[in-house]
Amino acid sequence: MEFLRFLRRAQWDEERAREIEAYIEQETADNLACGMNAEEARQAARRKLGNAVLIREEIYHMNSLGAVEDLWRDVRYGVRALRRSPAFTSVALLSLALGIGASTSIFSAVYGILISPYPYARSNEIWAPEVRALKTGRGAPFSFHQMRDYVELKKLPAFAETMATRPDRKLLTGDRPPENFTAVAVTANAFQFLGVAPVLGRTIQPSDVRADGQPEPVIVITYNAWQRLFDGSPGALGTKLVLDAQPFTVIGVMPPRFGWWNNDGGWIVLPEDSRDSRGVAAIVRLNKRVSPKVAEEQLQALHLRLAKERPADFPKDGFRTVLHNYMDITAVSGDMRASLRLLFGAVGFLLLIACANVANLQLARGTARAHEIAVRMSIGADRGRVFRQFLTESVTLSVAGGVLGVLFAFAITKTIVAMMPESYVPNESRIELNVYVLLFSAAVSMITGIVFGLAPALQCSRPSLVDGLKDGGRSVAGGGPAGRTRQTLVIAEIALSVVLLMGAGLTVRGFLEMQKLDAGFRTDRVLMLTLQMPVKRYSNETQRVAFAKRVLAAIGELPGVRSAAIGNGGFPFGGAQSGYAIEGQPNDAPGTLLLSLISADYPQTLGIGLRTGRQLTEQDIDHAEPVALINDAARKLWPAGVDPIGARVRLDLLVRANATPVALGRAYPSVTVVGIIADTRNAGLRNPPAPAAYLPYTLVPVPNRTLAIRTQGDPAALLHAVRERLRAIDREQPLDRPITLEEVLGMEAVQPRFNMALFGLFGALGLAMAAVGIYSVLSYIVAQRTHEIGIRMALGAGGRDVLRLIFSMGGRLVMIGLGIGLALTILLARLLRSEVFQVPETDVLALAGVVLLLCCAAFLACFVPARRAARLDPMSALRHE
């Protein structure tokens, strides 16, 4: 009933207005009849009636639900007021949106990658052991434990739980197109250790190891494999996957986020065989009340014992054992971690700055409206009413800003996820918009907006109206502690944005540098391809070599192919690392050599120049001669003046190669250097070349061979022909997509590009915020000093003088901020450079760019309030009070 009346209140109002009108006409007519003239008659009628407007208002109020009515009016008034000052509104909205959006999305990324990357049970209690050489401090490869060591390790009293993993790839055949399938072997207790439930079926259980120690042929598959191979059908359970000619029964499917060592293959059973000498990676949980230090000691004792038995497997000159908490050894590389942390700090500031900006803007606006408030109150608005009106306006603004901020947070998070280089974050980490943080940032910035929006209302709704009416512009501008705080905030903003911008400049430079970098080989028109040679079908080295040669010959014949070569390892990056000893040289600096297994055409195919000596010949390859090429970096391992050619180098890897399942006819522990070739960026584009040796591929039997094919035209055009040839020779070769060398190099650039984009984005945000800050503080000052400016103009100051006055105030802030920012950058430069950027020194170009950009932004920010001041009409400015 009440509500109905509320809805019909306008109609009622009209009705009453007509009624009152009718009354007046009636009265007037009566008065006329009494002999008054027209004017008198109407006035007398009005007098008799009283204040028609008041009556209508009274009735209107009777019909209305007071609070709703006022709220609605205030909101409308607020929106109108906000629209009247578009500069203020857009700047405040932008501040809120950027502050909320940026801080939330970056925190979401940090949370997903650094804080909570794993879905595993108690993942912060998982430890992984590492053996570190005392001299170099370098760690041994992750799988330095052999299965038989793991069996011993498991017995150590410090550990409550242990598990071992052995990554492996198998050839998936059967009735499907052959493909390389990642089948990670895990000990039977692994899934209990990790504590993640399957989405379908069951996980591997201890009962999956038979009484005789043999594993059951069962496989738990990843969510991706389930989708890819079975279209996500529950019928997948119980079907068989043929891996390396052995059928495995699918027993379970893991959730998408479970990515233990792989996220597109599966997990099979790894039996704990005390005679198994192949590598595994062990992780442990400690017993209660056992410190990591005690556990390290126990492990070290075990390692010392093992090192006595098998010295070749451990660093030569002593080592120590370290336990790493699993949260610290995420796949997040140092680069990514450092840049995320840096960004995290930066966005924290960004949120603060956003709040400060909004506060400043609201204060400036409130001051400018002090007069309005006083007028409203003197014509009858009560304190509560004014307070409510300001509250509504602030809330309207803050809510709009908050909504924009949330949208913005979604957009930035999406962008970050899209740009995030996959290989730099753990399989398991998921970046999702963190709702709590979103709520937090939204609440903080909105509350700031509201509180500071109310401040002027509180200030002005004091009882003495006369003061309020008079007070327009008397306070001393920018003075007092509050003014100083505001200016300090702005200076901090400017300094921060300088640091961010310098960072952005450095990342851009770093990225461009990398694009120009000479990889040491010709990267264009090279196709890469992997040959699979399962032990079952290629059981001896002769078969393997014959297969590789047939493939090389068949592909070499293809029209459009310049040359084809084998280049295992070091192609183009990484490769097997091996300890070495140069015969006749003191072995004082133990290090490793990168080993590449190549065919004779390799240097030619990749365009690597020969420095001295000779190339490997077909003869060397065919007879698996123990000869080697080394690169320039390796040449430096010999003292100056000593010619490495003809020297013999003992390689640990060759000693160990005997243990591989494919037996070699002969085994050589040493090779003779026959030639030196140019350096390539074999340790990644951003790192200096590592010393490397190139051996005939026939020397070491490995289960697959990497092929490099140089083409005359576009390598992509040859993809199909190459595959066909391969299939003609071996029907079971997997059809992995061959990749071009340029694509591989492109992946190297993903991380720098990510850094560049993020820092660029945040540099721009910081700049925008700083500009907003300058704008808000100057606006505030101009609003406060309107009266003073009026006096100056009345005394003869021109618009230009006023402009100069405001610009000099803004300029002072900018200069101080710029100075502090540059000083900070120089202080931080070392940290930034070593952790995030590979730029040799702070470059002048970036510096000049930053200064220019900042000055432009600052100019714009000063210009708006300065122009407002300059355009003041001195008369109205004086009357401002």
Q: Residue numbers of the site for another protein (CB under 8 A)?
A: 5, 12, 16, 19-20, 22-23, 25-26, 29, 47-52, 54-55, 58-59, 62-63
The two three-digit tokens of residue 597, written as one number: 């297994």
Tokens representing 316 are: 């030569």
Residue 829, C-beta contacts closer than 8 angstroms, at least 6 positions apart:
842
Shortest distance, CB of residue 57 to another protein, whole angstroms? 10
- Could you give the 3-state DSSP secondary structure of residue 501? helix
255: preceding bond cis by omega (within 30 degrees): no
Taking CA 52 as the corner, what is the angle to CA 49 and CA 57, rounded to the nearest 5 degrees? Answer: 135
Residue 7 vs 747, nearer CB to another protein: 7
One-letter amino acid of 75 = V
**Smallest gap from residue 60 Cβ to another protein (A):** 10
CB of 86 to another protein, least distance (A): 42
| In the complex, least distance from residue 31 CB atom to another protein, rounded to whole angstroms | 13
Please, what's the largest Cα pairwise distance for the chain? 139
Radius of gyration of the chain measured on its C-alpha atoms? 38
Q: Closest CB to another protein among 58 and 317?
A: 58
The CA distance from 416 to 109, in Å, is 8
Distance in Å, CB of 66 to another protein, minimum = 15
Give the nearer residue to another protein in terms of CB position, either 5 or 383.
Answer: 5
How near is the Cβ of 74 to another protein at its closest, in Å?
A: 25
* Nearest-angstrom CA–CA distance, 191 and 204: 7
Q: What element of type H or E holds 726?
A: helix 719-729
Structure token pair of residue 788: 């003073």
Least CB distance to another protein at residue 15 (A) = 8
Element (H, E) at 186: strand 179-187
The nearer residue to another protein, 32 or 816, going by C-beta atoms, is: 32
* Contacts of residue 14, Cβ cutoff 8 Å, sequence gap at least 6: none
Residue 874 burial (C-beta neighbours within 10 Å; 0-12, 13-18, 19+):
middle
Show the tokens assigned to 853: 């950009």
Please state the closest distance from residue 19 (CB atom) to another protein, in A. Answer: 5
* Shortest distance in whole angstroms from residue 16 CB to another protein: 6
We find the least distance from the C-beta atom of residue 388 to another protein, in angstroms, to be 25
Q: Give 16 or 202: the residue with its C-beta nearer to another protein.
A: 16
Q: Could you tell me the two tokens for 416?
A: 């970050």
Give the other-Cβ count within 10 Å of 654's Cβ: 22
Question: At which residue do the structure tokens 């949370």 appear?
Answer: 111
Q: Is the dihedral of CA 467, 473, 476, 478 positive or negative?
A: positive
Question: Is 283:126 a contact under the CB 8 Å cutoff?
Answer: yes
* Entry field: residues in the chain: 881
Q: For the CB of residue 67, give the shortest distance to another protein in the complex, in Å.
A: 19
Report d(CA 657, CA 162) in Å as an integer.
29
CB of 29 to another protein, least distance (A): 7
Query: Please, what is the minimum distance in Å from the beta carbon of residue 58 to another protein?
Result: 5
**Closer Cβ to another protein, 48 or 414, answer by number:** 48
Helix segments in 369-479, DSSP class H: 370-378, 383-419, 435-460, 465-470
- Show the tokens assigned to 457: 């209302």
DSSP string, 376-387: HHHTT--HHHHH
Q: What is the smallest separation between the CB atom of 379 and another protein, expressed in angstroms?
A: 22
Nearer to another protein, 26 or 612 (CB): 26
- Please provide residue 845's backbone torsions phi and psi, each rounded to the nearest 5 degrees: -60, -50
**Closer residue to another protein (CB): 7 or 411:** 7
Q: How far is the CB of 50 from another protein (least distance, A)?
A: 3
Give min distance, CB of 55 to another protein, in A: 5
d(CA 164, CA 143): 10
The beta strand positions in 699-792, using DSSP E, are 704-711, 739-740
Cβ neighbours, 10 Å, residue 661: 9
Angle between helices 750-784 and 741-748 (to 10 degrees): 40
How many Cβ atoms from other residues are within 10 Å of residue 207's Cβ? 9
Nearer to another protein, 61 or 727 (CB): 61
User: Considering beta carbons, is residue 2 or 212 the nearer one to another protein?
Assistant: 2
Cβ-proximal residues to 133 (8 Å cutoff; 6+ apart), any chain: 139, 140, 315, 316, 317, 318, 319, 590
Give the residue among 359, 361, 388 at the shortest CA–CA distance from 376: 388
Minimum CB distance to another protein smaller for 49 or for 546: 49
SS (H, E, C) 113-149: HHHCCCCCCCHHHEEEEEEEECCCCCECCCCCEEHHH
Residue 17 or residue 855: which is nearer to another protein going by CB? 17
* 3-state SS class at 79: helix
49 or 68, CB closer to another protein? 49
Q: Which residues face 324 on adjacent strands?
A: 128
Q: Which is nearer to another protein, 50 or 141 (CB)?
A: 50
CB of 59 to another protein, least distance (A): 5
Q: Give whichever of 51 and 687 is closer to another protein, judged by the CB atom.
A: 51
58 or 714: whose CB is closer to another protein? 58
In the block, residue with structure tokens 């007069």: 371
CB nearer another protein, residue 51 or residue 542: 51
User: CA–CA separation, 494 vs 854, rounded Å?
Assistant: 8
